[in-house]
């Protein structure tokens, strides 16, 4: 089974120059744990800002989210794979890089994302790790 079959295609974006408070509002409002940070030019890479980045690198250290920019605390570059990759490789990649989500790219564009719970559900449903009893 390929990653394109289990990835979430809806990926929310934010600009690198946006204020941290804007990122927090979007995440809380939509109940999502990460935002993809857009490249600032053609040659630039994508970044990602997660709830872990927000709390452990900013709020927990007392930084003011109204005076901190997304680009100051984001993680860059992102960890990604191709859509044809088998889903059994996703967890290994997460372990290798110690990340909670990997992105799916096609022709330099991000087309999806798979997070910890997504890959766990997928492996369970596909009986890669045993029968699924709902």
Partner 1 sequence: MVKVEEIMNKKVEFIEPDASVFDAIERMVGKKIRSLGVKPKEEKGEYGVISVRDVVLRVLGADLDPKKVEVEKVTTRPIVSVDRDVDINEVMHLMQKHRIARVFVKEGENIIGVCALLDVMAGLLIQKVREHYVT
The answer to whether the beta carbons of residues 79 and 102 sit under 8 Å apart is yes
User: Residue 7 is encoded by which pair of tokens?
Assistant: 């990835």
- Residues in contact with partner 1, shown as a per-residue x/- string from 105 to 124 under the rule CB under 8 A: -----------xx-xxx-xx
- Residues in contact with partner 1, shown as a per-residue x/- string from 37 to 76 under the rule CB under 8 A: --------------xx-xxx--xxxx--x-----------
Query: Measured between alpha carbons, how far is 48 from 61 in angstroms, rounded to an integer?
Result: 19
- CB-nearer residue toward partner 1: 39 or 125: 125
- CB-nearer residue toward partner 1: 25 or 106: 25
Query: Measured between alpha carbons, how far is 100 from 61 in angstroms, rounded to an integer?
Result: 21
Q: Does 1 bind partner 1 (CB under 8 A)?
A: no
Least Å from the CB of residue 86 to partner 1: 13
CA 123 to chain centroid: 19
């Amino acid at each position: 089974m390929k990653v394109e079959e289990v990835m979430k295609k809806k990926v929310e974006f934010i600009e690198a120059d946006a204020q941290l408070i804007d990122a927090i509002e979007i995440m809380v409002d939509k109940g999502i744990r990460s935002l993809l940070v857009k490249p600032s030019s053609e040659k630039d890479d994508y970044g990602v800002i997660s709830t872990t980045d927000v709390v452990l690198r900013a709020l927990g250290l007392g930084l003011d989210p109204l005076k901190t920019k997304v680009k100051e605390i984001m993680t860059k570059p992102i960890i990604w794979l191709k859509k044809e990759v088998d889903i059994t490789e996703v967890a290994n990649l997460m372990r290798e890089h110690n990340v909670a989500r990997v992105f799916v790219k096609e022709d330099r564009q991000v087309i999806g994302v798979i997070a910890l719970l997504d890959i766990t559900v997928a492996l369970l449903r596909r009986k890669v790790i045993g029968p699924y009893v709902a």
